[in-house]
Structure 1
């Protein structure tokens, strides 16, 4: 069974996004509504048309995937024991859509979160829905994507495996979660490898300052700042420190001369 009214599920594979699919069905519903009521002045807002388009798509896919289950539920008969959705306690709502049952009937959650719409995980629209909410969550991973799908009122069979597959093939996610490239270090310079006396080749750096107590006064104490110069031998890694009382070019040159 492949059709529900005028909607064929085989044509849904031509769409690459959930938003474009809803938009196309919305335009089709608007055209059909105007054709049926061409002698009447009726206007339907876009929100209602999108809701109707979503119901048409879901109902068509469910009827194509679960014909026996749909027929049994429509006749108020129990779900067949050989059905793959038997454990989900499915039921049909007022608009003919199969929803998931459960034990949240008396909770204060919205109806769509208590009883999500059943979506076959192997159908094309399941991938479109997962991609749509994965992009809405800004590519934040499997748990947030799956939570967004559930919060929107969809229960996808085999959803965890489908979400993981979509994220694995997502180009943006693979770039954001790719392995860091390890930079290969260049060869050591000749100054680090030539045998020589200590401090023949030197690296210099200044660090500080520290507040040092210089003298005590009647009102307290007088502090002054001190810096230090570190000399590092590039070959044997020996170090030497020189104290600088004032951070100036002359004091730095004096420390170099003392060294």
Structure 2
């Protein structure tokens, strides 16, 4: 309460002559008209989701939507103003965001397994052979089971591999459990396995169901 800095701010802020001056050097400034696709890709060399901390989110749907807006922002930077995307998110944008998140999680947790899929790799990991892992067209790590000829959807026949102990997997489990109207253990597992494969899924789902007071025991 006795701090002049807290009440009035720094002394120089009341005197305009002491305000900091910034002269813009136009010659060294890039404009959208001079930025090319190659230069943008060169500058953004880190994964697109590296700026999003998954651990800060408690909702899978919110995480996906925020990621979708980030990807839209990056895409709009590369296009002229008249062709930029605005408004509510499309199904395609949400799907792209989900794929980007899963791919980013897999790249950080299954780095060795993905490296094993390279024919020139000398590493041998048992899970790659056991689950018949492979990379699909979107770069997602999937399990190749024995349901090739079964009349099922692609995601069910070839589920996406997720790490057992990861916050992203926890968000998936909670989201699936909620969408399945807080059903019991077996029903929740069956719902998850229509799209994802989680090692030791029973213990993992049981752990989260204990924390859900709405779950059917």
The answer, yes or no, to whether TM exceeds 0.5 is yes
Which runs of structure 2 are paired with 1:73-222 in the superposition (5 Å)? 73=117, 75-76=118-119, 80-151=123-194, 153-173=195-215, 177=217
Task: Tell me, yes or no, if structure 1 residue 18 matches structure 2 residue 65.
Answer: no
Change (3 A) 1:78 1:105: farther
**Partner of 2:103 in structure 1?**
59
Q: What residue ranges of structure 2 are gaps of 5+ in the alignment?
A: 1-44
Change (3 A) 1:9 1:81: farther
Structure holding more strand per residue: 1
Which of 1 and 2 has greater Rg?
1
Deviation of 1:16 after TM superposition, in Å, equals 0.2
Structure 1: how far apart are the matches of 2:173 and 2:120?
32
**Partner of 2:48 in structure 1?**
6
**Partner of 1:210 in structure 2?**
none
What is the number of equivalent residue pairs in this alignment?
Answer: 171
Change (3 A) 1:57 1:28: same
| TM-score normalized with structure 1 length | 0.60
On the 8 A contact 1:88/1:100 being kept in 2, the answer is yes
Structure 1: how far apart are the matches of 2:110 and 2:46?
13
Structure 1: how far apart are the matches of 2:66 and 2:120?
35
* Higher-RCO chain (CA-CA 8 Å, sequence separation at least 6): 2
Structure 1: how far apart are the matches of 2:101 and 2:157?
21
Structure 2: how far apart are the matches of 1:125 and 1:56?
12
Change (3 A) 1:77 1:110: farther
Structure holding more helix per residue: 2
| TM-score normalized with structure 2 length | 0.71
CA RMSD of aligned residues (A): 2.4
**Partner of 2:83 in structure 1?**
41
On the 8 A contact 1:69/1:83 being kept in 2, the answer is no
SS at match of 1:107: coil
SS at match of 2:161: strand
On the 8 A contact 1:134/1:140 being kept in 2, the answer is yes
From 65, 71, 95, give the equivalent of 1:29: 71
Deviation of 1:90 after TM superposition, in Å, equals 0.3
Segments of 4+ in structure 1 off by > 6 A?
Answer: none
- Deviation string 1:70-94 (CA, Å, 9 cap, x unpaired) is 1232x34579433444411100001
Q: What residue ranges of structure 1 are gaps of 5+ in the alignment?
A: 178-259
Deviation of 1:23 after TM superposition, in Å, equals 0.9
